[in-house]
Amino acid sequence: MINYYEILEVSEKASKEVIEKAYKALAKKYHPDLNHDKPKEAEAKMKQLNEAFDVLIDDSKRANFDNILAKKRELEAQKKQQNTFYNTAESNFTATRPANIAEANKISYSNNGYYTDRDGNFYVNTHNMDDKTKQKLQSKLQEKYLEAYDAYLRQHGYKLKYKWTFKRVMQVVLAIIIAIAIFTVLFFIPPIHEYFVGLYEENVVIRVIVNLISSFFKAIFSLF
Higher pLDDT: 131 or 52? It is: 52
- To 10 degrees, what angle do helices 190-202 and 204-222 make? 110
Residues near 205 by Cβ (< 8 Å), separated by ≥ 6? none
> CB–CB of 156/71 below 8 Å?
yes
Measuring CA to CA, which residue among 122, 128, 124 is closest to residue 137? 124
172 shares its domain with 146: no
In a domain, 68, yes or no: no
In a domain, 139, yes or no: yes
In a domain, 203, yes or no: yes
Q: Is a pLDDT exceeding 60 seen at residue 122?
A: no
Residue type, 96: T
pLDDT band at 84 (very low <50, low <70, confident <90, very high): low
Question: Into how many domains does the chain fold?
Answer: 3
142 shares its domain with 185: no
142 shares its domain with 173: no
Q: What is the pLDDT of residue 83?
A: 63
Q: What is the pLDDT of residue 5?
A: 92
The structure's pTM equals: 0.39
In a domain, 144, yes or no: yes
pLDDT digits (tens, 9 = 90+) for 34-80: 888 888 888 999 999 999 999 999 999 999 889 888 888 888 887 77
Q: Is a pLDDT exceeding 70 seen at residue 213?
A: yes
Nearest-5° Cα angle at 195, 203 to 199 = 5
Task: Give the whole-angstrom CA distance, residue 12 versus residue 19.
Answer: 10
85 shares its domain with 149: yes
pLDDT band at 138 (very low <50, low <70, confident <90, very high): confident
Q: Which domain does 33 fall in, by range?
A: 4-57
Helix (H) or strand (E) segment spanning residue 202: helix 190-202
Higher pLDDT: 97 or 191? It is: 191
In a domain, 72, yes or no: no
Q: What is the pLDDT of residue 26?
A: 92
In a domain, 151, yes or no: yes
Q: Is a pLDDT exceeding 60 seen at residue 22?
A: yes
Task: Give the whole-angstrom CA distance, residue 67 versus residue 105.
Answer: 43
85 shares its domain with 151: yes
Let me know if 96 is exposed, middle or buried by CB neighbors in 10 A (0-12, 13-18, 19+): exposed
Residue type, 224: F
In a domain, 65, yes or no: no
180 shares its domain with 151: no
Mean pLDDT value across the chain: 76
Q: What is the pLDDT of residue 93?
A: 41
Residues near 2 by Cβ (< 8 Å), separated by ≥ 6? 48, 51, 52
In a domain, 73, yes or no: no
